Structure 1
């Protein structure tokens, strides 16, 4: 099986990225791996879709650093591959990273992903589902009971009124964003620098204001779902608690947060179950939920991370489970001779 990973850029990939660990797991199970970026698709005049892919040229690195060094060292050695020579296209780019600097790249994964799926490639997460999730407005499609109270607006007057209605405080963040960038806690509408915060956070467009959950001071729990259900092996869940640094409202690991073991309770599993129907309906193969109590703060469908942290805590590398699931999908696709849609295969 050949797996192509779509990422924002080769230079930006890191050893601690879950994508890197997924690639290593695939290599470890005897598969071929290649990387593509949003600018590496080619649609020729005969409607054939090709990718200008970076491959490892037969090498089988076993460590994240070795893998990335090989990719970056061989950056100029690009092979042009017909997409039909790829069995799985794994969309692992973050569109919000490109929204400001390279807006043309935002929809490359979903647009070309659709063409790849039409050519018979298994594309995960399903590109039609991802197209619905290009920003946090997607979250509003889940049941009210699992979501914080939310306002979406670019009006500072509307946001001031929302803040006044929530004396415990409000979290303000961009509608299009990730990684904890421009996330602020507002304590009251009289906050002295509210105008400056508004300007900083609204630079990329609409804002989300959500009621602050006091339990969030202890962090949130990142729980992975695969094929719509909690990812688990031998009683260990693919999950961890993300603890914000003192004085910071953000628990993102790459924005000063730290990772600790998490206890997955029946309450948390019940929350995940409430999201399952829509995630299945949208073809979301691998998802990361950020949960506080019985409320979901984020549904991460593009590049949820945390496998290396989970492996360090529990000695379980869930990357292998993901690759095995992809192998199963390929067997089913072969068995049915292409009769099943990519949408169905994505969460089968």
Structure 2
């Protein structure tokens, strides 16, 4: 199998990223792996998707840091590829990290992914569905029972009214964003105007019910093909905790510990599974607090490396194995299976 991994920028990738572990797992399974910065994608005159990629060496490195050193090396093999050179395009770039001068990169992976899909490449997650889900509004299309009470607005008076209805304790965050950036717990009238004004600079404000269970952090669960990723009774999940901070994201100082998979966790994942399948969301990160889902992460769900370490299970190889089986089915059907259907097919 030949697989391309699209990232924000190769130069900023590290051995601690889940994408690194996924691409390394593909190398270990004997596949040809190409790492592609989103800005190195292109449209060729014959209608194919093209890219300048770093070809991962076939060496089985002892550590992910050594593996990334080889990817970053000036001696790394850089080649021009086209869509017919790969079987799978794995979109792992995070649009929410692209602001300012790189705003052009926010949708680039999805746009070029659509071209690759039209060329017969399996693209995950489905690039058409990703185009409608790269901000948090997508979450509002899931059943109300799984979501905290929420409004999305730029009107300060509406947000203040919601704040009063929620007994003066809410979460405020931007509609677009990730990694815990600009997430605030508001329980003081004096700070409300300033926080709303700050977030409004970047667009719409999400005002969300505060869940007391958040003091225990959140549980990140990885779902694959619309189901919890589970191997031999071990679940791809971590409990992310952060003392004295409402943000549990590992990038904002959170710590990953073993997660207890409760009936509530399984129920919530079961409810969202059908829509993830319908939309071709091969891999999803579900963030759960108590009996509610706080967020869905669909562009580049992480913490897979932490799950591997805590549970002693190679979840990355299971993910690559699923892609292998999809590619086989795609070839059996001579490319006639729709991308969104194939993306979540679980043969």
Question: TM-score per shorter chain, which class?
Answer: over 0.9
Aligned-residue offset at 1:58: 4.3
| Aligned mates of 1:32, 1:73 — CA distance in 2 | 18
Q: Is the 8 A contact 2:117 2:339 kept in 1?
A: yes
Aligned-residue offset at 1:76: 7.3
**What are the Cα deviations for residues 108-157 of structure 1, in whole angstroms up to 9, with x where unaligned?**
11111011011111100010111110200000000000001101011111
Q: Is the 8 A contact 2:239 2:258 kept in 1?
A: yes
Match of 1:48 in 2: 48
Q: Is the 8 A contact 1:168 1:212 kept in 2?
A: no
Where 1:11 maps in the other structure, the secondary structure is helix
1:281 pairs with 2:282: no
Aligned-residue offset at 1:195: 2.6
Q: Is the 8 A contact 2:226 2:276 kept in 1?
A: yes
1:340 pairs with 2:343: no
18-27 or 36-45, larger mean C-alpha shift: 36-45
Where 2:51 maps in the other structure, the secondary structure is strand
1:251 pairs with 2:248: yes
Aligned-pair RMSD on alpha carbons?
1.4
| Aligned mates of 1:15, 1:149 — CA distance in 2 | 38
Match of 1:198 in 2: 196
Aligned-residue offset at 1:56: 2.6
Where 1:93 maps in the other structure, the secondary structure is coil
Match of 1:172 in 2: 172
Match of 1:305 in 2: 302
1:238 is aligned, of 232, 236, 239, to: 236
Query: TM-score, normalization: structure 2?
Result: 0.96
Aligned-residue offset at 1:12: 1.4
Match of 2:120 in 1: 120
Where 2:284 maps in the other structure, the secondary structure is strand
Matches within 5 A, 1:8-23: 8-23=8-23
| Aligned mates of 2:289, 2:87 — CA distance in 1 | 37
Unpaired runs of at least 5, structure 1: none
Match of 1:5 in 2: 5
Aligned residues: 345
259-268 or 71-80, larger mean C-alpha shift: 71-80
Matches within 5 A, 1:1-348: 1-74=1-74, 77-167=77-167, 169-188=169-188, 190=189, 192-246=190-244, 248-348=245-345
| Aligned mates of 1:124, 1:147 — CA distance in 2 | 25
Q: Is the 8 A contact 1:110 1:127 kept in 2?
A: yes
Aligned-residue offset at 1:199: 2.6
Aligned-residue offset at 1:203: 2.0
Q: Is the 8 A contact 2:134 2:298 kept in 1?
A: no
**What are the Cα deviations for residues 81-131 of structure 1, in whole angstroms up to 9, with x where unaligned?**
111111110000110111333111111111110110111111000101111
Where 1:204 maps in the other structure, the secondary structure is coil
